[in-house]
Amino acid sequence: MSRLPAAERREQLLDRAADLFSTRGYARATTAELAKAAGVTEPIIYRHFKSKRDLYVALVERTGRETLALWEADLGGATDPADRLRRLLGDNPMVSTKGKAPYRVFLQSISEVDDEEIQRAVADHIANLHGFVTREIEAAQKSRQVTDKFSAEVIAWMLLHLGMGYGVMSALQIPGHGRDADGTHVRDVLERVLVRQR
Residue 34: which H helix or E strand, with range? helix 31-38
Number of domains in the chain: 2
- Kindly state whether residues 45 and 58 are assigned to the same domain: no
- Kindly state whether residues 166 and 125 are assigned to the same domain: yes
Give the model confidence (pLDDT) of 161-188 as tens digits: 999 998 889 888 899 898 999 999 888 8
Q: Which residue in 119, 97, 93 sits closest to 108, CA to CA?
A: 119
User: The domain spanning residue 142 has which CATH number?
Assistant: 1.10.357.10
Give the model confidence (pLDDT) of 130-142 as tens digits: 999 999 999 999 9
Give the integer Cα–Cα distance in Å for 166 and 170.
6
**Strand, coil or helix: 104:** helix
Going from the C-alpha of 83 to that of each of 53, 86, 92, 137, 164, the distances in angstroms are 39, 5, 16, 11, 22
Give the model confidence (pLDDT) of 38-48 as tens digits: 899 999 999 99
User: The domain spanning residue 41 has which CATH number?
Assistant: 1.10.10.60
- Kindly state whether residues 38 and 73 are assigned to the same domain: no
Residue 186: which domain range?
53-194
- Kindly state whether residues 152 and 57 are assigned to the same domain: yes
- Kindly state whether residues 120 and 102 are assigned to the same domain: yes
- Kindly state whether residues 77 and 149 are assigned to the same domain: yes
